[in-house]
Amino acid sequence: MVYDALDDDPFVPVQAAIEVTCESGVVTLKGTVPSKNIKRSAGDDAWWIPGVVDVRNELAVSGPHRHRGQHREA
């Protein structure tokens, strides 16, 4: 059901490498996605599945990101 929810989510690209495991209602998401927004969307999708009691979102973000306080140089 989690894979179906991810496939139906327009914010999670089909090529996102997400592995899903579930044990006793705890869903674990592993893999790599290109942005924080996609990571967040995938975690939200898992929470909507009936019977899920916890989501461990262990997805790594591979895209460019800045740390707080960093600025782009022109």
Q: Which fold has domain 2-61?
A: Histidine-containing Protein; Chain: A; (3.30.1340)
Q: How much is the average pLDDT of 47-62?
A: 96
Q: How much is the average pLDDT of 42-49?
A: 96
Report the b/e string of 13-29 with b at 16+ CB within 10 A. Answer: eeebebebeeeeeebbb
- Range list of β-strands (E), the chain: 17-23, 26-33, 54-61
Q: What's the pLDDT at 72? A: 53
pTM for the complete prediction? Answer: 0.81
Structure tokens that stand for 22 in this block? 């579930």
pLDDT at 17 over 50: yes
pLDDT at 71 over 70: no
Provide the residue ranges of all domains of the chain, joining segments of one domain with +. Answer: 2-61
Return mean pLDDT, the chain. Answer: 89
Q: How much is the average pLDDT of 33-44?
A: 96
